Amino acid sequence: MTFALDPSPAPAPAGIKAVCLDLDETLLDVEHASRSALRELVGTDRAWPVWQRITDQHYARYVTDEIGFDAMCVERTKAFFAAFGESLDDAEAACRESLRMAAMQRSWRLFDDVRPCLDWLAATGLRLAVVTNAPGGYQRKKISAVGLAADFDAVVVSGEVGVAKPDPRIFRTACERLGLRPDEVAHVGDRLGTDARGASRAGLHGIWLNRHREECESAGVPAITDLDELPELLVADLVLGTAMEPDRLTPAR
Ligand SMILES: [Mg+2]
């Protein structure tokens, strides 16, 4: 389903005054960049599922403050090569991670549905923010690299505020920086628990961006499969309706 972007957008949806968005895999196509970097590092991205599994394990340790970001990246690289029988010392792992990171940064790009969606949201008068988990400098560099530096009224990064999604405090920090109550703010992100449910628990309108159409019997929050669907969800449920109904827009299986 694609929402026809009206060249003369309607006024901002009643009740909602701002939309927060996650960065990685919501606005920024990290998988594309990460696969490109893997190809540069080992000549192929056939090991992508292994990289993804190891990344999920190690990123969880970073988000829970068990390990710093740079150390996590080196540990992840060691674990990846160990999975294929190669043992790296810290210096070699750091060197390969540095090459991988440089390759990744050359491949950062937005998903195709981002620019039209941000333009529509801004044209309706909604304020915009990013709420993202990672070091501040790293995320701000990404935002600038893909040309989004002027798009947001607030950029809230876990590495700067000291708490990470799904902790309610990071969502409330975003609301405070926007000068709004949580119930006046929607948050959209690709992680059901970390983004959509986390935001809902903090009192915002959590929306799950289910780009990969993952199976989920009961998301408990409204879901969309691309950002083209976001304007319709906001208008239909927040102007014509009284509230977003959980699961109403969960993709059909
Ligand atoms: Mg994400």
pLDDT tens digit string along 156-210? 999 999 999 999 999 999 999 999 999 999 999 999 999 999 999 999 999 999 9
Q: Can you give the pLDDT at residue 9?
A: 46
How many angstroms is it from 172 CA to the middle of ligand 1?
18
Distance 135 CA to ligand 1 centre (A): 14
Residue pLDDT, tens place only, 70-122? 999 999 999 999 999 999 999 999 999 999 999 999 999 999 999 999 999 99
Please check the confidence at residue 23 and state whether its pLDDT lies above 50: yes
The model's confidence at residue 13, banded by pLDDT at 50, 70 and 90, is low
Among 137, 142, 130, which residue's Cα sits nearest to residue 195? 130
Distance between Cα 133 and ligand 1 center (Å): 8
pLDDT at residue 8, rounded to an integer: 44
CB 226 within 8 A of CB 116: no
Contact 11, 124 (CB under 8 A): yes
Instruction: Band the pLDDT of 63: cuts 50, 70, 90.
Output: confident
pTM for the full predicted model: 0.85
Residue spans of the domains in the chain: they are 18-29+110-240, 31-105
Distance 100 CA to ligand 1 centre (A): 20
8 burial type by CB count under 10 A (0-12 exposed, 13-18 middle, 19+ buried)? exposed
Under CATH, domain 18-29+110-240 is a member of which superfamily?
Answer: HAD superfamily/HAD-like (3.40.50.1000)
| Cα–Cα dist 97/114, whole Å | 29
* pLDDT of 238 above 70: no
Distance CA 2, CA 72 (A): 39
Distance CA 127, CA 144 (A): 19
* Distance from Cα 1 to the centre of ligand 1, integer Å: 22
Dump pLDDT digits (tens) for 127-155: 999 999 999 999 999 999 999 999 999 99
Q: Model confidence at 219, in pLDDT bands (50, 70, 90)?
A: confident
From ligand 1's centre to the CA of 89, what distance in Å?
30
Q: What's the gap in Å between 52 CA and the centre of ligand 1?
A: 13
Please determine, for residue 223, whether its predicted confidence score (pLDDT) is greater than 80: yes
Of the pLDDT bands very low, low, confident and very high (cuts 50, 70, 90), residue 15 is: confident
